[in-house]
Amino acid sequence: MDEPLIHETIGDLFNRMARIHAEREALVVRHQGIRWSYGELAERVEALATGLLSLGLERGDRVGIWAPNCAEWLLTQVATARAGLVLVNINPAYRGFELEYSINKVGCRVLILAPAVKTSDYLQIVNDLAPELCSSAPGDSHAAALPELRAVIRLGSERTPGMLNFADVCAAGTPADRQRLDAIAASLDPGDAINIQFTSGTTGSPKGATLTHRNILNNGYFVGHALQLQERDRVCIPVPLYHCFGMVMGNLACIAHGATMVYPAEVFDPLATLQTVQLECCTALYGVPTMFIALLDHPQFGSFDLSRLRTGIMAGAPCPVEVMNRVAKDMHMSEVTIAYGMTETSPVSTQTAVDDPLEIRVSTVGRVHPHVAIKIVDPTRRTVARGKPGELCTKGYSVMRGYWNDDARTGEAIDADGWMHTGDLATMDAQGYVNIVGRIKDMVIRGGENVYPREVEEFLYRHPGVQDVQVIGVPDLKYGEELCAWIKLRPNVQATEEEIREFCRDRIAHYKIPRHVRFVDAFPMTITGKIQKYLMRKQMIEELGHPTGNSD
C-alpha cells in the first residue's frame, strides 16, 4: 500500500478540500431543502466554530449533539474539530436516563439538540432533567442533575426559555473569536482527542470511546479509498450520523475525497432513500442488511431508476447471500463492499475490495485495512494457525485513545502491546480474508445496533418488582436478533410482559426494549452458580419456533 497516513487535523484537511472543491456540491439534505457547495459549507463551519468559542468554550471542552441526520450535525462535527472541541455523539434513541449519564460521564459544557425526533420530545426530556433551565439566562445553565452543562442550543427557529438558538450562535462570533479560532487551529495536533462515542458495556454502563483526528480522519479516507471514491461520486447516507458508519465512513470519507454527502431523511426511510438515490443520481449507498432488505422489498422498488449506483458499504451485521446478490444485480451496486470494525477502532479494520469476487464479499469481511495490523489469538493470547478460530485483535493508527476517564476498562480492552481485543471470534484464510464466526461477548446485534444484555439488565433491576433478570438474544427474521428478558419477580409480585415493556418505554432506547419477556422461578445454572444463557437461548428458540439459532 503506497498511500501514506494523513498527518493533518480534520479542520486543516477540510479547509484544504474546501479550497480545492469550492464550487462543487458538498452537501445535499433532501428533508431540509439544503444544497451547499464546499465553499458555502466552509463559511458556515467557520461561523459555527467562532460562535461556539463566543460562549466561552476552551480547547478540549466537550460539546454533545443529540439530533437525527441533518445539516447542523455535519456543521457541528467539523466546527468542533476546527475549534479543538470534543464532539460527543448522543444516540437519538436515548431517553432521559441515558442522556443524563452521557452528559455527566464526559462533562459536556454544551448540548446541541433537535426539538423532537419521531415521538420523542427532546425539549421536554431536557426540561424534566433540568427544570432550572427555563428560568436561567440562555448560556448560563446551572442544573443540579447536569452540573457541568452551561448551554443548551436548540435547532429550529422557535424559542425555548433558557436555550440558545443554533442560528444565533452561528451569528455570534466576533473578529476576536475568529482570531482565537485561528490560534487554536494552529496549535492542534492530529493526535488530539476530538470525538467521544458511547458503546454499551458488559458491566452495564456505556463507555465513552475517545477518538482522535488521526483515528477517524484516516479511517474515513481509507474506507473511501477502498470504494474508489472520487470528487464526482455522490454518496447517499441513510445510516445515522451519531455512529461511526455515518460520521466517519460517510462524512469524513466524502470530505477526504471531495465527494458529495447526501442525506435522504432524518432517520432511515426506505421510500425517501429510493427517491433520493434516483433524484440525486447517487453513485454509492450505505446501509446495514436490514436497510437493504427494506429497500429491495419496498412495493415501489421497481419504479425507481437506480442505474447510477456503483458502490457502497454493507456493514453492522452478517449479510445474507441472497440479499448481497440482489443488491449487486437489482440495485446496480456491482462494487458494493462489506466492512467490519467497532467504534473503538474508528471503526473499520477489514473491508472487501470492489473487485473481490461476489462469493468473497458474501462469505468474508475482507482483508485488513492499510496501516492496520490484525491477529487472531487463542485464550492464552497465542496467535492461532490460519483457518483456526480465535479472538480477533487489531493494532495501529485506528485504535482509540481509550475509554473516557476509565483506565480500568481501557486496560481490559487494549493490552500492554497496544492490541485492541475485539471480543469477536474470527478465522483468517490463506489469502488473508477474515470471517467472523461468533462473539465472545454476549453482545446482541439487533438491526445493526449493538446491545449488551448487561446494560438492559441493569436498567430492568430498577423495576421495583424485579428480583433478578437475565437478557439474551434470540434469532429474528427481520432484525437478525431480538432481545428476550427472563425475569424473576419478587415474592407476592405480579407483572405482565406489557408492563415490563411500558416500564422501559421512553426511558431507554427503543431497540433495547425486550421483544420477548418470560417470567421464571429460576435460571439454568452450573454447579458453581454460573448462569447458562445458552440453555435459555436454546429453550427460547424451541418455544418461538425458529429453525436455527445461536448458542454460546
Confirm whether 266 is domain-assigned: yes
Please report, in tens digits, the pLDDT of each residue of the chain (552 residues total): 579 999 999 999 999 999 999 999 999 999 999 999 999 999 999 999 999 999 999 999 999 999 999 999 999 999 999 999 999 999 998 999 999 999 999 999 999 999 999 899 999 999 999 999 999 999 999 999 999 999 999 999 999 999 999 999 999 999 999 999 999 999 999 999 999 999 864 345 789 999 999 999 999 999 999 999 999 999 999 999 999 999 999 999 999 999 999 999 999 999 999 999 999 999 999 998 879 988 998 999 999 999 999 999 998 766 777 788 899 999 999 999 999 999 999 999 999 999 999 889 888 999 999 999 999 999 899 999 999 988 999 999 999 999 999 999 999 999 999 999 998 889 999 999 999 876 666 778 899 887 878 789 879 988 999 988 999 999 998 999 999 999 999 889 999 999 999 999 989 999 999 999 999 998 897 554 557 888 999 999 999 986 444 333
Confirm whether 26 is domain-assigned: yes
**pLDDT score at 203:** 44
What residue type is assigned to position 126 of the chain? Answer: V
Size (the chain), residues: 552
**pLDDT score at 248:** 98
Confirm whether 373 is domain-assigned: no
| CB-CB contact of 370 with 218 (8 Å) | no
Rounded Cα distance between 171 and 169, Å, is 5
Q: Are residues 218 and 88 in the same domain?
A: yes
Please say which residue of 302, 330, 358 terminates a domain.
330
Which CATH number is 464's domain given? Answer: 3.30.300.30
**pLDDT score at 126:** 98
Q: What's the maximum distance between 2 C-alpha atoms anywhere in the chain?
A: 71
**pLDDT score at 489:** 94
Nine cell digits for residue 47: 461561523
Q: Are residues 323 and 465 in the same domain?
A: no
Nine cell digits for residue 486: 427472563
Nearest 5°: phi and psi at 466?
-90, 120
Q: Are residues 326 and 462 in the same domain?
A: no
Confirm whether 380 is domain-assigned: no
Please say which residue of 330, 364, 392 terminates a domain.
330
Which CATH number is 153's domain given? Answer: 3.40.50.12780
Confirm whether 551 is domain-assigned: no
Nine cell digits for residue 353: 475490495
Number of domains in the chain: 2
Please say which residue of 330, 357, 383 terminates a domain.
330
Confirm whether 403 is domain-assigned: no
Q: Residue 389: is the preceding peptide bond cis (ω within 30°)? A: no
Contacts of 252 (CB under 8 A, 6+ apart): 10, 216, 217, 219, 220, 221
Burial of 206 (C-beta count, 10 Å sphere; 0-12/13-18/19+): buried
**pLDDT score at 552:** 36
521 is in which domain, residue-wise? 444-544
**pLDDT score at 399:** 98
What residue type is assigned to position 432 of the chain? Answer: G
Confirm whether 411 is domain-assigned: no
What b/e string do you get for 489-515 counting C-beta neighbours within 10 Å, with b at 16 or more?
A: beeeeebeeeebeebbeebbbebbbbb
**pLDDT score at 321:** 73
**pLDDT score at 191:** 98
Rounded Cα distance between 276 and 273, Å, is 5
Q: What is the CA radius of gyration of the chain?
A: 23
| CB-CB contact of 335 with 324 (8 Å) | no
Contacts of 190 (CB under 8 A, 6+ apart): 6, 7, 8, 9, 212, 213, 214, 217
Q: Are residues 314 and 459 in the same domain?
A: no
DSSP letters, 272-328, are: HHHHHHHHTT-SEEEE-HHHHHHHHT-TTGGGS--TT--EEEE-SSPPPHHHHHHHH
Nearest 5°: phi and psi at 414?
-115, 120
Distances (CA, A) of 180 to 7, 183, 189: 23, 5, 16
Contacts of 475 (CB under 8 A, 6+ apart): 481, 482, 541, 546, 548, 549, 550
Closest CA to 282 of 71, 30, 11: 30
Nearest 5°: phi and psi at 253?
-60, -45
DSSP letters, 7-70, are: -S-HHHHHHHHHHHTTTSEEEEEGGGTEEEEHHHHHHHHHHHHHHHHHTT--TT-EEEEE--S-
Q: Are residues 263 and 124 in the same domain?
A: yes
Closest CA to 212 of 187, 186, 194: 194
User: For 302, how many CA atoms within 13 A lie in the half-sphere containing its CB?
Assistant: 1
| CB-CB contact of 122 with 156 (8 Å) | no
Closest CA to 252 of 273, 222, 232: 222
Rounded Cα distance between 489 and 464, Å, is 9
**pLDDT score at 533:** 84
Confirm whether 430 is domain-assigned: no
**pLDDT score at 547:** 45
